[in-house]
């Protein structure tokens, strides 16, 4: 008859369990590959207390239960693999990513994940730990919900790859954003009155007046800021009065700390398009041609170099400081301003989609519906003022 091992409290230990001389418990087992592994804890059961001066840890029996379920299901318990290891494996197996997208992914991961959640073993990253990480991004670092969503878009497929490779049972980021109920802010355009105040301020302004052609072009074409900044002189078809859009210019911070320009084609075929030039846009581009006809790009800084999105947004920020009637906005909202105006004056959704370069017409429809709220209100006001509705209302009262 075999003698059962006991801990220092007289409790019988199960097969594979031992208590070390320092009081710590160990559980030895074989993983799915037959490799000998161990789990450690200062507590045998959930009711045990943590010894004074020791860090919190799950009890050994709970750890055993979880790991044996993984072994039974065939999961590969790779205790040494961290999220950083998993990330490098993921990103190296995505050759289809565009250079600018890859650089953006690496930047976001390196800045916000690498030295935080990234240092943990993937087997130790639970839903609650991932949730706590997202909370830190918002309440400690101060990121906006949109930025947290971007980070989630980077992390979720990384964990999904680990699930498919049988490294973990579940994706710990599943459902986090939904449960957090983050209110993702929608970008709206500025009003016609705000647009007029903004552009009128630039007229003849000694400090900011040189920005007027760029903003006139953005407000008159609805192009993405990278598309406008990437415009060259040969993209202008003067005789046909058209602008050819077939590339975008981005400015990315690399992991090395070096900043590089990147010129890439649109992400989708719908991004390649021809846009008619309104007179205000044609005039603005001609102004730039008079100032620097020999530059490669139409819109450049004082040194003849291409502008960056940061340059444009910083200029908007400084200009708006002088206009209390105009709220803070970004360069992307100028695109939305144009979209709102064209939706209010054009009913052909397919045509609007082609002009805006939307890959999905649902994007166009969302803007179209938003832009028509005021018209709907006006329609109901007119309807309510008719004799029939007025009479009915009196009867109700």
Task: Indicate the pTM of the whole model.
Answer: 0.62
Q: How far is CA 42 from the centre of its chain?
A: 41
Question: How many Cα atoms occupy the beta-carbon half-sphere of 268 within 13 Å?
Answer: 9
pLDDT value at residue 393: 54
Class of domain 192-375: mainly alpha
CB 158 within 8 A of CB 86: yes
Please give the Cα distance from 353 to 107 (Å, whole number).
31
**Which residues belong to CATH 1.10.150.130 in the chain?**
83-180
Query: What is the C-alpha separation between 322 and 341, in angstroms, rounded?
Result: 25
Q: Are strands 17-19 and 236-237 parallel, antiparallel or unpaired?
A: unpaired
374: which residues sit within 8 A by CB, 6+ positions away?
none
- What is d(CA 126, CA 159) in angstroms, rounded to the nearest whole number? 11
Helix axes of 331-345 and 212-221: crossing angle, nearest 10 degrees: 40
Direct distance between the N- and C-terminal alpha carbons of the chain, in angstroms, rounded to an integer: 92
Token pair, residue 108, equals 């976001």
CA–CA separation, 21 vs 373, rounded Å?
A: 73
Summarised one tens digit per residue, pLDDT across range 23-40 is: 999 999 877 667 788 889
Q: Quick: pLDDT tens for 192-209.
A: 999 999 999 999 899 999
Round to whole Å and give the CA distance between 270 and 272.
5
Q: Residue 189's pLDDT is what?
A: 87
Neighbouring-strand partners of residue 276: 242
Q: How far apart are CA 106 and CA 293, in angstroms?
A: 37
Residue ranges of the chain assigned to CATH 1.10.443.10: 192-375
CATH topology of domain 83-180: DNA polymerase; domain 1 (1.10.150)
C-alpha 352/C-alpha 275 separation (Å) is 11
Q: At what angle do helices 309-320 and 331-345 cross, to 10 degrees?
A: 80
* Per-residue pLDDT tens digits of the chain, which is 397 residues long: 567 789 999 999 998 899 999 999 999 987 766 778 888 999 999 999 989 888 888 899 988 887 777 666 655 555 568 999 999 989 888 887 776 677 778 888 999 999 999 999 888 899 999 999 999 999 999 888 888 988 999 999 999 998 888 778 889 999 898 888 876 556 678 999 999 999 999 998 999 999 999 999 999 999 999 999 999 999 999 999 999 999 998 876 555 556 677 788 887 888 999 999 999 999 999 999 999 888 999 999 988 999 998 899 999 999 999 999 999 999 999 999 999 898 888 888 899 899 999 888 887 888 777 777 767 777 787 777 765 555 555 554 4
d(CA 229, CA 309): 8
**CB < 8 Å & 24+ apart, contacts of 233-240:** 233/289, 233/298, 235/298, 236/277, 236/285, 236/298, 237/274
Here the tokens at position 269 are 């075929």
Bridge partners of residue 28, in order along the sequence? 38
């Amino acid at each position: 008859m075999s003698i059962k091992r006991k801990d220092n409290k007289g409790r019988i230990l199960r097969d594979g369990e031992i208590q070390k001389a320092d009081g710590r418990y160990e559980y030895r087992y074989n993983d799915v590959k037959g490799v000998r592994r161990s789990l450690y804890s200062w507590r045998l059961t959930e009711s045990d207390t943590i010894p004074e001066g020791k860090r919190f840890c799950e009890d050994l029996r709970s750890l055993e239960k979880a790991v044996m379920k993984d072994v039974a299901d065939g999961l590969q318990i790779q205790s040494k693999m961290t999220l950083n290891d998993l990330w490098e494996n993921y990103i190296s197996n995505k050759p289809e990513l565009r250079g600018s997208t890859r650089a953006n992914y690496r930047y976001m991961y390196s800045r916000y994940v690498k030295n935080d959640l990234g240092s943990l073993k993937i087997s130790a990253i639970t839903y609650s730990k991932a949730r706590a990480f997202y909370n830190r991004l918002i309440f400690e670092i101060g990121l906006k919900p949109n930025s947290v969503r971007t980070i989630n878009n980077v992390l979720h497929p990384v964990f999904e790859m680990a699930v498919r490779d049988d490294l973990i049972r579940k994706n710990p980021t599943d459902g986090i954003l939904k449960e957090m109920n983050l209110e993702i802010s929608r970008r709206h355009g500025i009003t016609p009155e705000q647009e007029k105040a903004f552009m009128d301020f630039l007229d003849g302004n000694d400090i900011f007046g040189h920005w007027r052609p760029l903003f006139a072009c953005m407000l008159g074409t609805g192009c993405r800021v990278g598309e406008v900044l990437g415009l060259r002189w040969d993209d202008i078809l003067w005789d046909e009065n058209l602008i050819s859009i077939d590339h975008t210019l981005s400015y990315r911070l690399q992991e090395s700390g070096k900043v590089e320009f990147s010129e890439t084609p649109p992400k989708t075929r719908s991004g390649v398009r021809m846009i008619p030039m309104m007179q205000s846009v044609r005039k603005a581009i001609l102004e730039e041609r008079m100032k620097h006809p020999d530059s490669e790009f139409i819109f450049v800084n004082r040194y003849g170099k291409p502008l960056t999105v940061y340059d444009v947004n910083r200029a908007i920020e400084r200009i708006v400081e002088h206009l209390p009637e105009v709220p803070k906005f970004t360069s992307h909202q100028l695109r939305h301003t144009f979209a709102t105006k064209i939706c209010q004056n054009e009913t052909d959704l397919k045509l609007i989609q082609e002009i805006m370069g939307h890959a999905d017409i649902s994007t166009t429809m969302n803007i179209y519906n938003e832009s028509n709220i005021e018209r709907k209100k006006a329609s109901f006001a007119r309807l309510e003022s008719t004799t029939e509705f007025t009479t009915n209302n009196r009867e109700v009262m």
